[in-house]
Chain A
């Protein structure tokens, strides 16, 4: 459960950033530009003399905000689509799965790029773009789970007792699909951070001077040779958080679904 530890630490650092950060994330001292790491500035300063540690800490809040909002949105939309497709079947299933196929035809970051191209940059649109990218993944997992569950005896028994469709979905199908949903949520928290910080790195996501990690890396490119530390820390932060959620997801999968354990 080392993944859980990393994730807990990340959430704690994000929550406590205003207390822990030694400096203001947006205000720099122009006399202290591009300083290497030292006792006064653990991770050095950037091109405007801003403390890199403080910026990375505040950046954790932005990352967490994007991750929770985007995964939450994708979870709700994906679950709704997956349940309808799996439970109703027939033409709604056909239609939803074709839409999923179409969305999945855009590899990687391209679907998110399409959303940004249409709606523009900024925090809200990054959340929307990263969420849409995940909807088909959630829909597929939930649909699969519902398809297996609805043939089970306990669902048949509930139907024989005269329970309505909504009751069967809410009381029987969703609670029994929780294991794959939880695993997916953790793994997708990782994917979303890579997508969102990638968009910001391209200049198409959260905009400077925000201390978003991808945006910080994008700025740091120009000072790579003179001040490599500015580009090191935000990237390391992204990697550790993504690794944490991946480890947590793998661990949860092993714990919740013993059949999948190797």
Chain B
């Protein structure tokens, strides 16, 4: 187990270096002189020379990348072109909000998805099962930005129950978390149903039934534990997709998260901010996947990773 965890952590290193390479390479892909992009179109020749020296743009690319990495590791992600603040400071203000939103959304989707999946699997081919299957198909087909608009229309404009945007109180987070959780709850429901059906087919479940264990106990005590193992992996993946979906949700509800930050950064051609946001989101996603993989290994002693 310890060896497996260590190996997984070592395998992270090339991925994280690759992620930084993508984020670093972004500026090189932009057509035009990076110094001109960073300084703005109307910059004078002296300013350009200063920028080239300050950012080390006059050095060879591999040297620039190593320097970028060295600074990124200690949390120095450069200065925002637009606000002149350190990118790390901006991310520190915005990223916790996105994390909170993605976490609330996964809570919503885990609860909804696992319950719907268990109900569907234990009442296979019943009307409830069909409703759950159809519902989850519609759920993964809904564009979340549209669902968000509809939610605002119904719950904020018509019913006046919840605020339509902005942040501050917990009430501001309810609609965004529900909207963001809807799509991933569909995926979790499908996985739970499939995993549960697979486990319910196993011999040990039949044995439990044969010796007279009640239906409820068979499902919750005997089957659910084993069925949860593959579902864990989906939790990790869906958490990542929630980070991605947060870009759209934060735009619909005007929320001050990192998704909004990256979109504003792209509009303003504020490349250091875009690079920093990409880096922090990808790193978080990679770490969450590592955690779920380790949890998977921990909960399933049948699997040996050597």
Contacts and interface: CB of A to CB of B under 8 A. Distances in A.
Interface stretch (A18-26, A43-51, A160-168, A220-228): A220-228
Nearest to A115: B29
B107 interface: no
A101 B197 CA distance: 30
Interface in B45-93: none
Given A102-B18, A102-B22, A109 B248 contact: yes
Contact of B278 (A99, A106, A228): A106
Contact of A202 (B26, B29, B146, B263): B263
B282 A117 contact: no
A106 B2 CA distance: 27
Interface in B17-37: 18-19, 21-23, 26-27, 29-31
Interface stretch (B147-155, B168-176, B291-299): B147-155
Given A201-B248, A243-B141, A114 B243 contact: no
Interface stretch (B206-214, B220-228, B266-274): B266-274
A162 to B, nearest CB: 39
Interface stretch (A76-84, A136-144, A190-198): A190-198
Interface stretch (A9-17, A170-178, A231-239): A231-239
A98 B157 contact: no
Given A105-B282, A105-B285, A262-B197, A238 B263 contact: no
B138 A243 contact: yes
A110 B278 contact: yes
Contacts of A127: none
Interface string B122-161: 0000000000000001101111011001101100010000
Q: Which 3 A-B pairs have CB atoms at the shortest separation, nearest pair first? A: A108-B244, A235-B146, A102-B18
Contacts of B251: 201-202
Given A99-B18, A198-B143, A238-B143, A228 B244 contact: no
Contacts of A108: 240-241, 243-245, 247
5 contacts: A106-B285, A110-B281, A114-B278, A117-B271, A204-B266
A116 B143 contact: no
Contact of A117 (B142, B247, B274, B285): B274
Contact of A113 (B150, B252, B262, B285): B262
A235 B149 contact: yes
A109 B247 contact: yes
Contacts of A31: none
A198 B18 contact: no
Most buried by B among A114, A201, A239, A243: A114
Given A246-B137, A246-B140, A224 B149 contact: yes
Interface in A177-217: 190, 194, 197-198, 201-204, 214, 217
B1 interface: no
A194 B143 contact: yes
Interface in B166-193: none
Contacts of A157: none
A57 interface: no
Contacts of B262: 110, 113, 117
B14 interface: yes
Nearest to A194: B143
Interface in A97-141: 98-99, 101-102, 105-110, 113-114, 116-119
Given A202-B263, A217-B146, A242-B143, 15 more contacts: A102-B21, A102-B22, A107-B240, A110-B244, A110-B247, A110-B278, A110-B282, A113-B262, A114-B26, A118-B26, A118-B27, A119-B30, A231-B153, A238-B146, A239-B143
B43 interface: no
